[in-house]
A and B are shown apart, each in its own frame.
Chain A
Amino acid sequence: MIQINDVTKYYRDVKVIEHFSLEVSDHTSLVVLGPSGCGKTTLLRLIAGLEIPDEGEIYINGSLVSCPGWVLPPHRRSIGFVFQTSALWPHMTVSQNIRFGLHSGNDGRVQEMLTRTGLMELANRYPSQISGGQARRVALARALAPEPEYLLLDEPLTNLDPDLKQEMLTLIKETVANTGGSLIYVTHDAGEANHISERIIEIKIYRDE
Chain B
Amino acid sequence: MSIPYRYQHRSPGSYLHIFGLLAFTFIVFGPLLSLVVDSAGYLASEPGQVIPTERSSGLLFNSIALAFCVAAGGMILGVMIASVLWRWQSGRKHSLRWFLLVFAPIPPYVHALAWSTSMSYLSDILVRFGLPGISLQGWSGSWWVQLMALLPIAVGLSLIGFESVEVTMIEAARLVRSDIQVLLRVILPLMAPMLAASTGILFLLSLVDYSVPSLFGLNVYSLEIFAEYGATNQPSSAFLLALPELFITLAVILLARNALKDAVQNQVRSRAGTYDWPLWFTWLQRFAIIVLFLQISILVLSLVSSVGTGKDLALTISMSRSEISFTFWICIAASLICLPFALAAAHEMQRKDWRGTVWWVLVISPLAVPAPLVGIGMVSLWNRPLWYELYGTSAMPLLALLARFTPLAAIVLMTQLRRIDPLLLDAAQVFDTHPLRTWFQVRLPLMTPGLMAAAFITFALSIGELGATLITVPPGRGTLTLKIYNYLHYGASEQVAGLCLMMVAITLLAGFLAMIMLRGWSRLMPDNRRIREDTGI
Contact = CB atoms under 8 A, between A and B. Distances in A.
A51 B534 CA distance: 11
A153 to B, nearest CB: 13
Contacts of B179: 73
Nearest to B171: A50
Interface size class of B (residues with CB under 8 A): 20 to 34
A164 to B, nearest CB: 20
Interface stretch (A40-48, A55-63, A115-123, A129-137): A40-48
Contacts of B189: 89, 91
A143 B174 CA distance: 12
Contact of A100 (B171, B177, B178): B177
A49 to B, nearest CB: 8
A11 B530 CA distance: 12
Interface in B151-196: 166, 168-169, 171-179, 185-186, 189-190, 192
Contacts of B185: 100
A95 B445 CA distance: 51
Contact of A71 (B171, B173, B274): B274
B536 A74 contact: no
A141 to B, nearest CB: 12
Contacts of B168: 83-85, 87
Interface of B: 90, 166, 168-169, 171-179, 185-186, 189-190, 192, 273-274, 276, 534-537
Contacts of A91: 189-190, 192
Contacts of A14: 535
Contacts of A80: 175
A90 interface: yes
Given A81-B172, A87-B166, A45 B190 contact: no
B186 A89 contact: yes
B171 A81 contact: yes
A50 B172 contact: no
Given A45-B536, A100-B185, 4 more contacts: A50-B171, A52-B274, A100-B177, A101-B177
A77 to B, nearest CB: 8
B176 A100 contact: yes
A73 B273 CA distance: 10
What are the 10 tightest A-B residue pairs by CB atom distance, in nearest-first order? A101-B176, A87-B168, A42-B536, A37-B537, A87-B172, A74-B174, A73-B276, A11-B535, A41-B536, A83-B168
Nearest to A42: B536
B174 A90 contact: no
Contact of B190 (A12, A83, A90, A100): A90
B272 to A, nearest CB: 11
A50 B298 CA distance: 39
B88 to A, nearest CB: 15
Contact of B174 (A12, A36, A73, A84): A73
Contacts of A146: 176
Given A11-B534, A12-B90, A83 B171 contact: yes
A81 B175 contact: yes
Contacts of A184: none
B168 to A, nearest CB: 4
A139 B90 CA distance: 31
Nearest to B185: A100
A75 B189 CA distance: 20
Contacts of A50: 171, 174, 273
A81 B173 CA distance: 10
Contacts of B172: 81, 83, 87, 89, 139, 142
A65 interface: no
A113 interface: no
Contacts of B90: 12
Contacts of A90: 190
B534 A75 contact: no
Contact of A89 (B174, B190, B274, B276): B190
A74 B178 CA distance: 8
A74 B534 contact: no
B174 A75 contact: yes
A110 interface: no
- Chain A CB within 10 Å, residue with most, of B169, B175, B177, B189: B175
A70 to B, nearest CB: 9
A41 to B, nearest CB: 5
B536 A11 contact: yes
Nearest to A38: B537
Given A11-B536, A12-B534, A39-B536, A75 B178 contact: yes
A16 interface: yes
Nearest to B91: A12
B176 A87 contact: no
A42 B534 CA distance: 10
A51 B535 CA distance: 11
Contacts of A39: 536
A79 interface: yes
A181 B174 CA distance: 20
Nearest to B275: A73
A12 B169 CA distance: 23
A87 B178 CA distance: 18
A74 B537 contact: no
A50 B177 CA distance: 13
